[in-house]
């Protein structure tokens, strides 16, 4: 029941009509019995939206494209991980003071950690955008040996330098040396659903392959990797774990990860 004591949470972005965060978080709130509701606010003005959170006493928010980088300078306090990444995807409101966090990278590592310990592993990171940056910092912190592969050399080298990682042009990707492969690019998502970001011929069956794209559930990259006998991880896992970390930041309660995953899968399976 929504009443005067209901705590409001939101996702801020443009666009957000496709977001599965409301389904996921509202199912989680209901499961643990919290008097809270999560809604989507489409906004082109992240500064005004954050002021609204302060003014209205909204408990917190997810921040998504295109506002993650801009939000860094607009919160009152910034978590060290978010500062290093240079992006905020989570805002917590405590008495009108907004603290910015980033749960994307750790969400990805948690998804991988269901299948292997990344420490000491050779991890190939495809792409050099915001998602790659967040995941790269988390992988490096977890002890992985990261190599950034990117089509644009300047951007790829800059990210690798920030991470203390190696860089290789995308054309020099060698699947045979790969233990962990993570695609952070939109290749595999419509309208490029039949494409893969790299050729995985020679990829060992022992490799773990993750794609941050979660719609479709199985991208062409994951389909080909599965055929090779590899362990594959869809973008749903990262999405759920980053959301679970947000839930715990906001509420101080342990996130019902299984319930959150099922909420997302229910929607995606309905849309197949």
pLDDT average, residue stretch 9-28: 96
Residue 76 and residue 187 in one domain: no
Structural domain contains residue 2: no
Rounded to whole angstroms, how far apart are CA atoms 88 and 80?
A: 11
Residue 110 and residue 98 in one domain: no
CA atoms within 13 A of residue 75's CA, in its CB half-sphere: 29
Q: Which of 95, 89, 93 is nearest to 46 (CA)?
A: 89
Q: Which of 110, 60, 58, 55 is nearest to 88 (CA)?
A: 60
- Full-model pTM: 0.95
- Give the pLDDT confidence score for residue 271 in this predicted structure: 75
- Give the pLDDT confidence score for residue 270 in this predicted structure: 87
- Give the pLDDT confidence score for residue 58 in this predicted structure: 98
- Give the pLDDT confidence score for residue 194 in this predicted structure: 87
Q: Indicate whether 193 pLDDT > 90.
A: no
Q: pLDDT class for 241, splitting at 50, 70, 90?
A: very high
Give the structural domain span for 259: 7-102+237-271
- Give the pLDDT confidence score for residue 1 in this predicted structure: 81
| Secondary-structure percent of the chain, ordered helix, strand, coil, rounded to 5 | 40, 20, 40
Relative orientation angle of helices 235-251 and 21-32, to the nearest 10 degrees:
50
Dmax over CA atoms of the chain, in Å, equals 59
Residue 67 and residue 129 in one domain: no
Q: What angle do CA 24, 251, 29 make, to 5 degrees?
A: 35
- Give the pLDDT confidence score for residue 114 in this predicted structure: 97
User: Where in the chain does DSSP place strands (E)?
Assistant: 7-13, 36-42, 60-63, 77-78, 90-94, 97-101, 122-126, 145-150, 166-169, 180-183, 208-211, 231-233
Residue 94 and residue 136 in one domain: no
Q: What is the pLDDT of residues 106-155, one digit of tens each?
A: 999 999 999 999 999 999 999 999 999 999 999 999 999 999 999 999 99
Q: pLDDT class for 92, splitting at 50, 70, 90?
A: very high
Residue 76 and residue 191 in one domain: no
Phi first, then psi, for residue 68 (nearest 5°) are -60, -40
- Give the pLDDT confidence score for residue 190 in this predicted structure: 74
CATH number of domain containing 116: 3.40.50.720
- Give the pLDDT confidence score for residue 272 in this predicted structure: 65
Residue 220 and residue 255 in one domain: no
Relative to beta strand 90-94, strand 97-101 is: antiparallel
Residue 77 and residue 195 in one domain: no
Name the percent of the chain lying above pLDDT 90.
94
- Give the pLDDT confidence score for residue 110 in this predicted structure: 98
Find out whether 214 and 241 touch, Cβ atoms under 8 Å: no
Q: What is the pLDDT of residues 52-67, one digit of tens each?
A: 999 999 999 999 999 9
Find out whether 163 and 234 touch, Cβ atoms under 8 Å: no
- Give the pLDDT confidence score for residue 3 in this predicted structure: 96
Q: Which is more confidently placed, 177 or 77?
A: 77
Name the percent of the chain lying above pLDDT 70.
100
Structural domain contains residue 151: yes
Mean pLDDT of the chain: 96
Task: Look at the chain and report how many structural domains it folds into.
Answer: 2
> Which residues are designated catalytic?
68
**Would residue 210 be called left, alpha or beta, if left means φ above 0 and alpha means ψ between -120 and 50 degrees?**
beta
């Amino acid at each position: 029941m929504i009443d005067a004591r209901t705590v409001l949470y939101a996702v801020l972005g443009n666009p957000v009509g496709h977001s599965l965060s409301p389904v996921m978080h509202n199912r989680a709130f209901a499961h643990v019995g919290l008097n809270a509701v999560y809604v989507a606010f489409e906004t082109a003005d992240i500064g005004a939206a954050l002021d609204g959170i302060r003014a209205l006493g909204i408990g917190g928010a997810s921040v998504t494209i295109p506002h993650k980088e801009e939000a860094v300078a607009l919160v009152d306090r910034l978590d060290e991980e978010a500062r290093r990444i240079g992006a905020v995807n989570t805002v917590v409101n405590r008495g009108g003071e907004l603290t910015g966090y980033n749960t994307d990278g750790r969400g990805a590592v948690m998804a991988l950690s269901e299948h292997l310990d990344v420490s000491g592993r050779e991890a190939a990171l495809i792409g050099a955008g915001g998602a790659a940056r967040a995941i790269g910092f988390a992988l490096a912190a977890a002890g992985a040996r990261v190599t950034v592969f990117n089509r644009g050399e300047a951007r790829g080298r800059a990210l690798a330098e920030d991470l203390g990682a190696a860089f290789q042009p995308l054309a020099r990707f060698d699947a045979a040396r790969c233990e962990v492969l993570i695609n952070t690019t939109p290749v595999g998502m419509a309208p490029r659903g039949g494409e893969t970001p790299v050729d995985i011929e020679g990829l060992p069956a022992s490799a773990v392959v993750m794609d941050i794209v979660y719609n479709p559930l199985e991208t062409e990259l994951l389909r080909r990797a599965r055929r090779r006998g590899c362990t594959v991880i869809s973008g749903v896992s990262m999405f759920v774990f980053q959301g679970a970390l947000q839930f715990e930041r906001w509420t101080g309660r342990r996130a019902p990860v299984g319930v959150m995953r099922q909420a997302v899968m229910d929607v995606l399976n309905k849309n197949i």
